[in-house]
Amino acid sequence: MRFILYMLFGVGGVLVALALGMVFFSDDETAEVAPQTQSIDVPAKAVDAPKSAPPTLNIEIARVKPDGAAVVAGSAPPAAMISVFEDKLLLGKTTADSNGEWVVVLEKRLGPGQHLISVAAELEDGSSIMGETSIAIEIYADQSTKPLVALLPESQTDMPVLLQSPDDDPAEKTAEAASTSTVAHIGPRSLVWQDETKLSIGGQSRGGVRVTVSANGTFFGDALVLADGSWQVTGQVDKNRNTHRLEFVLVDNAGQAVARYMLPVRTRDLQKGLDGSQLVIVNKGDALWRIAYRSFGKGVRYIDIVRKNTGDIDNPDLIYPNQIFALPKSGATN
């Protein structure tokens, strides 16, 4: 798939291939860039282009190694000066060729943590434009996990595009493609109090038709799985207990259990939602920016989640499966 993307670039594909070689096979060591937390103010000048064909700046490829070495490529008006930056820190510059294609190899490696990378272009007439998407990158401290890379559109209606994931294992993908059956899976994602004792749990599943939930060994509730794999179960919770053990069982048409999920829950975590706030459950591979984008349509609002959960998030770059966070009420989706 990556090869096809490179070929689609035509001549630009050669440039990308060379740049990738520089990033992924060079032994040169450079200083790391720590995650930047503020957005950069880029002056937007008037563009003297016809309204029917305004100039655009697109990011089409972003590749990042576990050690933070990265390359970004895309398209822009020919001869435009391209700048790649995070906050006020310039990470690399280049000039678009006669076809409008450009490639930037970041001058410094990205350090562990969550980065939000932007791209701007200065056109020949002196005007400036910003890229229509930003690049969200999460670098992991162990340098053995493949970084997560996604394009985040400015529009709240457009969905982010995942370019690279820690789960991108060619061997696993080959095995999955060769399999004739769908691997069943179930995972809770959200918690919402309906009243003082009644709790609704929502989640996603694959490969089953019904979800049954038990709390501390006692039946909690069940529900059918919808066509998109979503489900919601509502039941009673004993708030006098300090901890709870929620078990989720996904069953197929024959009534056989095909997947299970165990969720340990502290009552103090559940109580964070008694003010009407939605609670989210961290799943494997989640990052705070991803939760924020899924909940608010803006990845940068992960800062609001950190502020809402200051006592539970020691490091925004380090969150773990089964942690439960409260979402700010403003803009939250139920």
Q: Note the pLDDT tens digit of each residue in 85-100.
A: 998 899 999 999 888 8
* Residue 7: predicted pLDDT: 35
**Where do we find the tokens 């933070």?**
68
| Tokens encoding 204 | 């996603």
* Residue 279: predicted pLDDT: 95
pLDDT value at 119 more than 90: yes
* Residue 175: predicted pLDDT: 45
Residue 70 pLDDT level (bands cut at 50, 70, 90)? very high
Residue 182 pLDDT level (bands cut at 50, 70, 90)? low
CA distance 29 to 165: 24
Residue 192 pLDDT level (bands cut at 50, 70, 90)? very high
Q: Mean pLDDT across the stretch 166-194?
A: 68
* Residue 30: predicted pLDDT: 56
* Residue 4: predicted pLDDT: 34
- 152 versus 256: the higher-pLDDT residue is 256
For 241, how many CA atoms within 13 A lie in the half-sphere containing its CB?
A: 14
pLDDT value at 267 more than 50: yes
Whole-angstrom CA distances from 212 to 218, 251, 303, 331 are 11, 8, 35, 30
pLDDT value at 332 more than 50: no
Closest CA to 197 of 220, 179, 218, 213: 220
CA distance 229 to 17: 39
Q: Mean pLDDT across the stretch 152-171?
A: 70
CA distance 69 to 22: 10
* Residue 200: predicted pLDDT: 95
pLDDT value at 31 more than 70: no
Provide CB contacts within 8 A for 33, sequence distance 6+. 68, 86, 89, 91, 106, 108, 109, 110, 111, 115
Low-confidence winner among 29-43, 103-117, 247-261, 308-322 (lowest mean pLDDT): 29-43
* Residue 240: predicted pLDDT: 86
Provide CB contacts within 8 A for 135, sequence distance 6+. 59, 62, 72, 115, 116, 117, 118, 119, 149, 150, 151, 152
CA distance 188 to 232: 9
CA distance 292 to 289: 5
- 265 versus 1: the higher-pLDDT residue is 265
pLDDT value at 190 more than 70: yes
pLDDT value at 46 more than 50: no
Residue 44 pLDDT level (bands cut at 50, 70, 90)? very low
Pick from 43-52, 121-130, 286-295 the range whose average pLDDT is largest. 121-130
pLDDT value at 299 more than 90: no
Q: Strand 32-33 relative to strand 109-110: parallel, antiparallel, unpaired?
A: parallel
pTM: 0.50
DSSP string, 62-128: EEE-TTS-EEEEEE-STTPEEEEEETTEEEEEEE--TTSEEEEE-SSEEPSEEEEEEEEEE-TTS-E
pLDDT value at 256 more than 90: yes
Residues 325 and 277: beta-carbon distance below 8 Å: no
* Residue 42: predicted pLDDT: 42
Q: Which domains does the chain have, with CATH numbers?
A: 2-40+48-172 (2.60.40.10), 182-326 (2.60.40.10)
Average pLDDT over all residues of the chain = 80
Q: Mean pLDDT across the stretch 223-227?
A: 93
* Residue 128: predicted pLDDT: 92
* Residue 196: predicted pLDDT: 85
* Residue 45: predicted pLDDT: 47
Q: Mean pLDDT across the stretch 265-273?
A: 91
